[in-house]
Structure 1
Amino acid sequence: MRIGVVTFPGSLDDVDAQRAVRLAGGDPVALWHGDHDLKGVDAVILPGGFSYGDYLRCGAIARFAPVMTEVVAAAGGGMPVLGICNGFQILCESHLLPGALIRNDHRTFICRDQVLRVENASTAWTSSYRESQEILIPLKNGEGGFVADADTVRRLEEEGRVVVRYLGTNPNGSVDSIAGITNDRGNVVGLMPHPEHAVEDLCGPGTDGLGFFTSALAALTEV
């Protein structure tokens, strides 16, 4: 299965995401922010970094990149799309996911290994996990606080659309310790922590992040 990884000016985890796809058994395809097509990929990853220098707001300019027109259309058609960190911010700015990501409540950049609880194991990106499974993957952000109006948060909770949640001390002030969410269809997922940095024992805190990528491959195989 071919999984595209978009590179925006300022992306810095695109190569890591491509490696994670490869380790999971997929075929990574490099996509450029100025592309007007998705090169026949079966799924798309928007990686972490600082797209367009995080000017205006994180992800605010990236939402207007030519490739995002194709990503939004493909997501609407059911294609699996994963946004990691800056990619999560882009998904929110593109209205593929609700809410927004704002500056951490302690106003400082955070970089640490973070324990998460998988709340929804039925999305295209989390089926390799068990519900309530605890995983350890790196977290690194300065604008990682997830916020939304009370009605939106209530719907996310009631509809089981919170995908992963921070355990222990809330690292950035996210409402309800939300670390990642999904759309109502379950094909679009955004999360602030970085599963692509936890896919092999040689580097990172282990392999707990690999399940996000094997999940997508499994979902595509079932189609």
Structure 2
Amino acid sequence: MKVGVVTFPGSLDDADAARAVQIGGHDAVPLWHGDHDLRGVDAVILPGGFSYGDYLRCGAISRFSPVMTEVIEAAGKGMPVLGICNGFQILCESHLLPGALIRNDHRKFVCRDQRLRIENNRTPWTSDYAENAEITIVLKNGEGGFVADTATLDRLEGEGLVVARYLDGNPNGSLRDIAGIANQRGNVVGLMPHPEHAVEDLTGAGTEGLAFFTSLAAAVFA
């Protein structure tokens, strides 16, 4: 299948995401932030980085990029969309996901291997994981604290929309240790850690992030 990877001004992890897509068995299709064309892709990844320098708020300017008009429309029709780190921030700014990502509570950039629990394996991006699987992938962010009002947090947990939760300590102040969430339909997932950096042994980070990319084929073509 064809998976689009969007490049915004300031994207850093678009090449890594494209490589993860290829290792996962798919064709990576580059998408440019200024285009009104998704080039016939079956799914979209919004990668990590510092789009538009994180001015105003992280993801706030990227939300208005022409390509996001197409992504929002496609997501509304059920296309799988994954936002990683800065991509998660863009999804929240686009109102494809609830809540927001704010400055880490300790006011420092964090970069480390992070243990997670995959609590929702019913999305197109997580179906290759066992429910409650514990994995270790890379985390790197300065504004990764997920926040939402109590009613939204209760709804996310009550409806099983928390996709991943931090283990062994909260790295950034995210409420209820939330590392990733899905929309109600399940096709849109936002994740603060970086599975694309844990897809091959070559990098030394292991392969526990690979299932985010192999899951896609099973979910779409099952």
Settle same-fold status: TM greater than 0.5: yes
**Aligned letter for 1:17?**
A
Give a deviation string over 1:138-182, Cα, whole Å, max 9, x none: 000000000000000000000000000000110000000000000
Aligned to 1:38: 38
**Aligned letter for 1:44?**
V
Distance 1:218 1:16, change over 3 A: same
Aligned to 2:127: 127
Aligned to 2:111: 111
User: 1:216 Cα deviation (Å)?
Assistant: 1.2
For residues 216 and 152 of structure 1, the distance between their equivalents in structure 2, rounded to whole angstroms, comes to 27
**Aligned letter for 1:27?**
D
Aligned residues: 222
User: 1:221 Cα deviation (Å)?
Assistant: 1.7
For residues 99 and 204 of structure 1, the distance between their equivalents in structure 2, rounded to whole angstroms, comes to 33
For residues 72 and 218 of structure 2, the distance between their equivalents in structure 1, rounded to whole angstroms, comes to 22
**Aligned letter for 1:135?**
I
For residues 147 and 157 of structure 2, the distance between their equivalents in structure 1, rounded to whole angstroms, comes to 13
Aligned to 1:75: 75
> Do 1:116 and 1:135's aligned partners in 2 also have CA atoms closer than 8 Å?
yes
Aligned to 2:5: 5
Unaligned runs of 5+ in 2: none
Q: How does 1:83-98 map to 2 (within 5 A)?
A: 83-98=83-98
User: 1:218 Cα deviation (Å)?
Assistant: 1.6
Normalised TM-score (structure 1): 0.99
Give a deviation string over 1:2-44, Cα, whole Å, max 9, x none: 0000000000000000000000100000000001010000000
Unaligned runs of 5+ in 1: none
- Secondary structure, aligned partner of 1:184: coil
RMSD across aligned C-alpha pairs, in angstroms? 0.5
> Do 1:115 and 1:136's aligned partners in 2 also have CA atoms closer than 8 Å?
yes
For residues 218 and 15 of structure 2, the distance between their equivalents in structure 1, rounded to whole angstroms, comes to 22
Moved runs in structure 1, 4+ residues, more than 2 A? none
> Do 1:138 and 1:204's aligned partners in 2 also have CA atoms closer than 8 Å?
no
**Aligned letter for 1:31?**
L
- Secondary structure, aligned partner of 2:28: strand
> Do 1:116 and 1:167's aligned partners in 2 also have CA atoms closer than 8 Å?
yes
For residues 170 and 219 of structure 1, the distance between their equivalents in structure 2, rounded to whole angstroms, comes to 30
Q: How does 1:1-223 map to 2 (within 5 A)?
A: 1-222=1-222
**Aligned letter for 1:42?**
D
User: 1:91 Cα deviation (Å)?
Assistant: 0.1
**Segment drifting more, 151-160 vs 209-218:** 209-218
Identity of aligned residues (%): 77
- Secondary structure, aligned partner of 1:74: helix
User: 1:204 Cα deviation (Å)?
Assistant: 3.6
**Aligned letter for 2:146?**
F
**Aligned letter for 2:52?**
Y
**Segment drifting more, 213-222 vs 116-125:** 213-222
**Aligned letter for 2:196?**
E
For residues 202 and 29 of structure 1, the distance between their equivalents in structure 2, rounded to whole angstroms, comes to 23
